[in-house]
Structure 1
Amino acid sequence: MESKHDIYYIEKVKNGQTQYYSYIVEKYKDIVFSIALKVLKNREDAEEMAQESFIKAFKSLHTFKGKAKFSTWLYRITYNNCISEVRKRKIHFASTDDIEIKDDDSDFNLDGLPEENREKYIKAALEKLPEDEYTLVLLYYFEDQSIEEISKVTRISESNAKVKLFRARKKLYTILNDMLKEEIYTIL
């Protein structure tokens, strides 16, 4: 969740106190890396792209007007950088080791999953989603981005984002359901 402190640090950086940018990097490094990793499928490339995204955001910080959340602006930079890199290299999309699954995430009904395996199942299911659906789920459920913000990051319409998110949830449910069935058959 974005705090009012982001604007404070952004203003400090804009006024020449660049050391405050480390707060922004520290706060957003995990999600920026996770987006890059999913798109690029390679840890080293994702680390490099995350770093490049923060550098690009730093150099472009003067253009940030605050009309959207800073996180939305940063995720858009990251996503666009990664898509450009994929197009350059003509590679395919990716993996999810660094997502943090919270037990208190009430948007996912996880009651049917054994608690000790919940995170493992969700990460495995997320990895099976196509990159666009993965990004939508990641931003909506794990980064608390609104549909409007997701629309800005991915450059798809809000109605299309809603439809794709709905389909991604259905697909995620089906994947999790199939995984649990397999687990039961293995036990029996």
Structure 2
Amino acid sequence: MDTIEDQQCIDKLKKGDTASYAFLVDKYKDMAFTISLKVTKNRVTAEDAVQESFIKAYISIHSFKGHSKFSTWLYTIVYRTSLAIAKEQKLQTVPLNDRSHNNYNPDHSVPQLEKLQLEEQQQYIKAAIDQLPEKEALLVTLYYRNESSIKEICTITGFSASNVKIILFRARKKLENDLKFLL
């Protein structure tokens, strides 16, 4: 359903309806920011990279042929733009303590005690992911949080499928150890 909805917006955009792009930006901005933040390790730089990525995607929308999902195409632009900006600025890493861009949205029917426990678990998981090296954190985020397939991750990052699987395997082991320690 999402793919059909995205394609309708893209078709309208290609015909000159620029307002339809706002729907796509709103839909994908949070994950785009998450990807960029994992690469740049700096909130301001990540915001700039995402903005630049959406502009690039808008300008290049006619090159989108629909061979992959729009999100895969967009996240590839975000990833590569973020890498380029990070290289340009030779960024230093900073702690990611601000939760303002956290996409966690628990089901409102969950009782308060369980909700607190879920929030606490999410904090520990986020902390453990933030401790992973850049590539591992990015792939874990794409695979588990964004539910991207291995093939989509390969398209976004340019890594081979076997490399993605190996990195995910190692990241899961590290997360398992870190979460045992944290919990």
Shorter chain as normaliser: what TM range? 0.7 to 0.9
| Match of residue 85 from structure 2 | 85
Cα deviation, residue 3, structure 1: 3.2
Deviation at 1:41, TM superposition (A): 2.0
Mapping 1:154-173, distance limit 5 Å: 154-173=157-176
Q: Partners of 2:156 and 2:126 in 1: how far apart?
A: 22
Q: CA deviation at 1:115?
A: 3.6
Is the Cα contact below 8 Å between 2:3 and 2:69 reproduced in 1? no
* Contiguous gaps of at least 5 residues in structure 1: 105-113, 181-188
Give yes or no for contact 2:9–2:20 (8 Å, CA) kept in 1: yes
Q: Does the Cα contact within 8 Å between 2:36 and 2:50 map onto a contact in 1? A: yes
Contact 1:57 1:74 in 2 (8 A): yes
Question: 4+ residue stretches of structure 1 with deviation over 6 A?
Answer: none
Considering only aligned residues, what root-mean-square deviation do their CA atoms show, in Å? 1.9
Q: Normalising by structure 2, report the TM-score.
A: 0.86
Give me the TM-score of the superposition, normalised by structure 1: 0.84
Q: Matched residue of 1:12: which SS? A: helix
Hey, what does 1:147 align to over in structure 2? 150
Question: Aligned equivalents of 1:80 and 1:116: distance in 2?
Answer: 32
Look up the equivalent residue of 2:172 and give its one-letter code: R
Alignment partners' CA distance in 1, 2:78 and 2:16: 24
Distance change >3 Å, CA 116–CA 30, structure 1 → 2: closer
Gaps in structure 2 of 5+ consecutive residues:
108-116
Q: 1:36, 1:78 within 8 Å by CA — same for their partners in 2?
A: yes
Is the partner of 1:125 in helix, strand or coil? helix
Q: CA deviation at 1:140?
A: 0.7
The 5-angstrom pairing of residues 36-55 of structure 1 reads 36-55=36-55
Spell out, residue by residue over 1:123-144, the C-alpha distance to the aligned partner (whole angstroms, 9 max, x if none).
1111101111111111111111
Query: In the TM superposition, what whole-angstrom CA distance separates every residue of 1:25-58 from its partner, at most 9, and x where no partner exists?
Result: 0000101111112222222211111111100000
Q: Shift of residue 2 of structure 1? A: 4.0
1:140-187 deviation per Cα after TM superposition (whole angstroms, max 9, x unaligned): 11111100000010100011111111111111111111112xxxxxxx
- Residue in 1 that maps onto 2:71: 71
User: Displacement, 1:102?
Assistant: 6.3
Q: Which residue matches 1:110?
A: none
Verify the 8 A CA contact 1:93 1:131 in the aligned structure 2: no
Q: Distance in 2 between matches of 1:37 and 1:69?
A: 22
8 Å Cα contact 1:39/1:83 also seen in 2: yes
Displacement of 1:100: 2.7
Q: How many residues get paired?
A: 171
| Whole-Å separation in 2 of the counterparts to 1:174 and 1:122 | 12
Q: Superposed, which structure 2 residues align to 1:112-127 within 5 Å? A: 114-127=117-130
